[in-house]
Amino acid sequence: MTVRTPALADIPHLETERLILRAPEAADFDAFADFALSDRAHYVGGGPEHNTGYAWRVLATLAGHWHLRGFGIYVAQEKTTGQPIGSMGPWFPGNWPEPELSWTIWTEAAEGQGYAFEAVTTLRHHAYTVLGWITAVSYIDPGNARSRALAQRLGCQVDEGAAQPDFDDPVEVWRHPGPEDLK
């Protein structure tokens, strides 16, 4: 039985120098599950203690956000290999205090190449110019040194007064430069 995937939202196809940014799709499941069930996913609630059902629900959650909000997380695919290497984008589930720019690199091999910087720079521009955002934050686990370094490189600063999402553990709220700051 083959079922055509319905177009639930008009999900843009964006490109950076080295990446294609596109909608999450069913074929991403294996690569995503490898990440979500690895130690690398500890900062985003995953890890080896979970099972593939968990990974599938999270991937469905990423896709469903598009349907509810009209924007959401993209999967970044390497242009040269066609491999999905991470997921990032504007994220604003119903229990978030304000819209977030989020990022995750799925594999060790794709780390350290500036992929997240490249993708998030493009997606931040998209959020400000197409979605009309006037500000953006990123929620980062204080122990996640790599993501904190990227936030700094993106020009973000910790916003001590900003509201926290209702996680069990507190996160750092990194405030991005606004649209005017980036002109």
Partner 1 sequence: MRGYRESDIDAFAEFYASDRSHFVGGPMTRELTCRAVMAYAGHWHLRGYGRWMIEDKATGDTLGNVGLWYPDGWPEPEIGWTLFNGAEGRGVATETALASRAYAYEVLGWSTSISLIALDNAPSQRLAQRMGAWLDGTFVHERYGEMQVWRHPNAKMEASP
* Interface contacts to partner 1, rule CB under 8 A: 1, 3-6, 8, 23-26, 29, 51-53, 55-57, 59-69, 93-95, 165-166
**Residue 55: CB minimum distance to partner 1, A:** 7
Chain centre to alpha carbon of residue 57 = 16
Q: Which is nearer to partner 1, 15 or 25 (CB)?
A: 25
CA 74 to each of CA 2, 6, 89, 157: distance values in angstroms, whole numbers, following the listed order: 24, 17, 6, 24
Residue among 63 and 136 whose Cβ is closer to partner 1: 63
d(CA 68, CA 52): 24
| Least Å from the CB of residue 50 to partner 1 | 10
Cβ closest to partner 1, residue 29 vs residue 117: 29
- Report the alpha-carbon distance of residue 48 to residue 52 in Å, rounded: 10
Which one, 90 or 148, has the nearer CB to partner 1? 90
